[in-house]
Structure 1
Amino acid sequence: MSDGKVKSMLETAVVVKVTEGLHARPATQFAKLAKEFSCSLQVLHGSTSADAKCAVKLMLLGIREHDQIVLRADGADESDAVERMAQFLSSPEAGVQQATAARAADAAACGAEPVTLVAASRAGASNSDSSGTNSGASTGAGARSETPAEETPPLLGIPASEGLAFGDAYVYLPEPLQATRQFIEPHETAAEAVRFNRAFDDALAALDRQFDTMGDHDGIAEALVGVAQSDEFAGEIRARIAAGRDAAAATLEVGATLAASFETIADEYLRSRADDIHGITRQVVLRLTGRQDVSLAGLTKPCVVLASDLTAPDLARANVANIVALVCTRGSATSHLAIIARSHGIPAVFGLSVPDERLRGVAQVAVDGALGHVWFEPTCALQDQFAARIGEARANRAALDVYRDVEPVTRAGRPIRIAANLGSPDEIDAAKAAGAMGVGLFRTELLFMNRRSLPGEHEQYDVYRRVAEAFAPHPVVIRTLDIGGDKPVPGIAFPHEDNPFLGWRGVRMCLDRHDVFKPQLRALLRAATIGNVQAMLPMISDIDEVRRVKALMAECARELASEGVAFGEPKLGIMIETPAAALTADLLAPEVDFFSIGTNDLTQYVMAADRANPNLASLYRCDHPAVLRAIAMVCDAAQRARIEVAVCGEAAAQPRMIPVLVGLGVDELSMSPACVLRAKKIVSEL
Structure 2
Amino acid sequence: MERSTIVRVHEGLHARPATRFVKLAKSFESEVEIIKSGKAASAKSAVKLMLLAVKENDEVTIRTSGADEIEAVEALIGYLENPLSGMVEDAAPAEPQPSAGDTLRDEPSKAQAFAEDIAGALKGVAASEGYAVGAAFPHFPAVIKPESRTLSPAEIEPELQRFAEAVETVQARMNASLASDTLSGNDRGIVAALRDIAADDELRDGVAAEIRGGSDAVSAVIAASSRIAAEFGKVDDPYLNARADDVHSVGRQICLALLGQSDASLEDIPDGAILIADDIGAWDLARAPLKRIGGIVCGQGGATSHIAIIARSHGIPAILGMGARIEQLRDAREVAIDGHRGQAVANPEGKVLADFRSRIEEAAREREALKAFRDSTPRRADGTIIEIAANLGSLEEIEAALDAGAMGVGLFRTELLFMRHMHLPSEDMQAETYSALAKAFAPYPVIVRTLDIGGDKPISGIEFPEEENPFLGWRGIRMCLDRPDIFKPQLRALLRAAVHGNVKVMLPMVADIEEIRRTRALVETCKTELAAENIAFGDFQLGVMIETPAAVLVAPMLAKESAFFSIGTNDLTQYIMAADRLNPTVARLNDVSNAAVMMAIEMTARAGREAGIMVGMCGEAAGRPDLIPEFIRMGLTELSMSPASIQRAKKCVMDLGK
Q: Which TM-score band (shorter chain)?
A: 0.5 to 0.7
Q: Look up the match of 1:471.
A: 441
1:199 alignment partner AA: F
Asked if 1:196 is matched to 2:160, the reply is yes
- Residue 199 of structure 1, CA deviation: 1.9
Where does 1:29-428 land on structure 2 (aligned, <5 Å)?
Answer: 137-139=104-106, 146-148=111-113, 150-151=115-116, 191=155, 194-208=158-172, 210-211=174-175, 287=254, 321=291, 346=315, 366=338, 374-377=340-343, 385=355, 387-428=357-398
Going from structure 1 to structure 2, the CA distance change for 1:469 and 1:235 (only over 3 Å counts) comes to closer
Going from structure 1 to structure 2, the CA distance change for 1:419 and 1:189 (only over 3 Å counts) comes to same
The CA distance in 2 between the partners of 1:298 and 1:136, in whole Å, is 20
Q: Look up the match of 2:594.
A: 624
- Residue 234 of structure 1, CA deviation: 8.0
2:567 alignment partner AA: I
- Residue 456 of structure 1, CA deviation: 3.2
Q: Look up the match of 1:679.
A: 649
Asked if 1:648 is matched to 2:613, the reply is no
- Counterpart selection for 1:536 from 506, 518, 531: 506
The CA distance in 2 between the partners of 1:455 and 1:636, in whole Å, is 38
The CA distance in 2 between the partners of 1:616 and 1:328, in whole Å, is 31
Q: Secondary structure at the match of 2:111?
A: coil
Going from structure 1 to structure 2, the CA distance change for 1:242 and 1:214 (only over 3 Å counts) comes to closer
Asked if 1:657 is matched to 2:621, the reply is no
2:111 alignment partner AA: E
Going from structure 1 to structure 2, the CA distance change for 1:460 and 1:302 (only over 3 Å counts) comes to farther
319-328 or 197-206, larger mean C-alpha shift: 319-328
Q: Secondary structure at the match of 2:625?
A: coil
Going from structure 1 to structure 2, the CA distance change for 1:521 and 1:206 (only over 3 Å counts) comes to farther
- Residue 321 of structure 1, CA deviation: 3.5
Where does 1:534-573 land on structure 2 (aligned, <5 Å)?
Answer: 534-573=504-543
- Residue 565 of structure 1, CA deviation: 0.4
Contact 1:299–1:318 (8 Å) recurs in 2: no
Q: Secondary structure at the match of 1:685?
A: helix
1:360-394 alpha-carbon deviations (Å, 9 max, x no partner): 99999746xxxxxx422267778855643442343
Contact 1:576–1:596 (8 Å) recurs in 2: yes
Going from structure 1 to structure 2, the CA distance change for 1:520 and 1:471 (only over 3 Å counts) comes to same
Asked if 1:597 is matched to 2:563, the reply is no
Q: Secondary structure at the match of 1:421?
A: strand
Contact 1:151–1:382 (8 Å) recurs in 2: no
Mark the runs of 5 or more structure 1 residues left unpaired by the alignment. 1-21, 28-42, 46-55, 69-114, 120-134, 154-160, 169-179, 217-224, 257-278, 306-313, 331-335, 350-355, 368-373
- Residue 525 of structure 1, CA deviation: 0.8
- Residue 25 of structure 1, CA deviation: 9.5
- Residue 663 of structure 1, CA deviation: 1.1
Contact 1:148–1:382 (8 Å) recurs in 2: no
The CA distance in 2 between the partners of 1:562 and 1:165, in whole Å, is 62
- Residue 675 of structure 1, CA deviation: 3.1
The CA distance in 2 between the partners of 1:570 and 1:644, in whole Å, is 14
The CA distance in 2 between the partners of 1:632 and 1:427, in whole Å, is 31
The CA distance in 1 between the partners of 2:223 and 2:544, in whole Å, is 54
Going from structure 1 to structure 2, the CA distance change for 1:247 and 1:315 (only over 3 Å counts) comes to closer
The CA distance in 1 between the partners of 2:555 and 2:527, in whole Å, is 27
Q: Secondary structure at the match of 2:341?
A: strand
Asked if 1:588 is matched to 2:553, the reply is no
2:615 alignment partner AA: V
- Residue 658 of structure 1, CA deviation: 0.9
The CA distance in 1 between the partners of 2:200 and 2:302, in whole Å, is 38
- Counterpart selection for 1:480 from 434, 450, 459: 450
1:658 alignment partner AA: I
592-601 or 390-399, larger mean C-alpha shift: 390-399
Contact 1:116–1:452 (8 Å) recurs in 2: no
Q: Look up the match of 1:100.
A: none
Q: Secondary structure at the match of 1:409?
A: coil
The CA distance in 1 between the partners of 2:286 and 2:513, in whole Å, is 38
Contact 1:603–1:621 (8 Å) recurs in 2: yes
1:27-78 alpha-carbon deviations (Å, 9 max, x no partner): 7xxxxxxxxxxxxxxx999xxxxxxxxxx9xx9657669979xxxxxxxxxx
- Residue 623 of structure 1, CA deviation: 1.3
Contact 1:193–1:238 (8 Å) recurs in 2: no
Contact 1:251–1:281 (8 Å) recurs in 2: no
Q: Secondary structure at the match of 1:533?
A: strand
The CA distance in 1 between the partners of 2:166 and 2:436, in whole Å, is 40
The CA distance in 2 between the partners of 1:23 and 1:64, in whole Å, is 13
1:572-591 alpha-carbon deviations (Å, 9 max, x no partner): 12222333433443343333
Q: Look up the match of 2:491.
A: 521
Q: Look up the match of 1:93.
A: none
Q: Secondary structure at the match of 1:680?
A: helix
- Residue 249 of structure 1, CA deviation: 11
Going from structure 1 to structure 2, the CA distance change for 1:673 and 1:464 (only over 3 Å counts) comes to same
Going from structure 1 to structure 2, the CA distance change for 1:26 and 1:628 (only over 3 Å counts) comes to closer
Going from structure 1 to structure 2, the CA distance change for 1:191 and 1:44 (only over 3 Å counts) comes to closer
- Residue 560 of structure 1, CA deviation: 1.7
- Residue 684 of structure 1, CA deviation: 2.8
- Residue 534 of structure 1, CA deviation: 0.5
Going from structure 1 to structure 2, the CA distance change for 1:554 and 1:210 (only over 3 Å counts) comes to farther
Contact 1:422–1:442 (8 Å) recurs in 2: yes
2:561 alignment partner AA: E
1:517-572 alpha-carbon deviations (Å, 9 max, x no partner): 44332221111112110112233344444344334433332332221101122111
Going from structure 1 to structure 2, the CA distance change for 1:250 and 1:541 (only over 3 Å counts) comes to farther
1:623-677 alpha-carbon deviations (Å, 9 max, x no partner): 1212211211211222233221101222222221110111122121122334333
Mark the runs of 5 or more structure 2 residues left unpaired by the alignment. 1-22, 32-43, 45-62, 73-85, 91-101, 119-127, 135-145, 181-194, 230-245, 276-283, 330-335
Q: TM-score, normalised by structure 1?
A: 0.55
Contact 2:375–2:405 (8 Å) recurs in 1: yes
1:290-323 alpha-carbon deviations (Å, 9 max, x no partner): 89999xx999787999xxxxxxxx9998976468
The CA distance in 1 between the partners of 2:302 and 2:520, in whole Å, is 42
Q: Look up the match of 1:460.
A: 430
Going from structure 1 to structure 2, the CA distance change for 1:608 and 1:299 (only over 3 Å counts) comes to farther
1:305-361 alpha-carbon deviations (Å, 9 max, x no partner): 9xxxxxxxx99989764688999978xxxxx999x96xx8x5999xxxxxx989999
Q: Look up the match of 2:187.
A: none
Contact 2:616–2:638 (8 Å) recurs in 1: yes
Asked if 1:666 is matched to 2:636, the reply is yes
Q: Look up the match of 1:352.
A: none
The CA distance in 2 between the partners of 1:487 and 1:324, in whole Å, is 39
Going from structure 1 to structure 2, the CA distance change for 1:199 and 1:491 (only over 3 Å counts) comes to farther
Going from structure 1 to structure 2, the CA distance change for 1:607 and 1:433 (only over 3 Å counts) comes to same
- Residue 430 of structure 1, CA deviation: 4.3
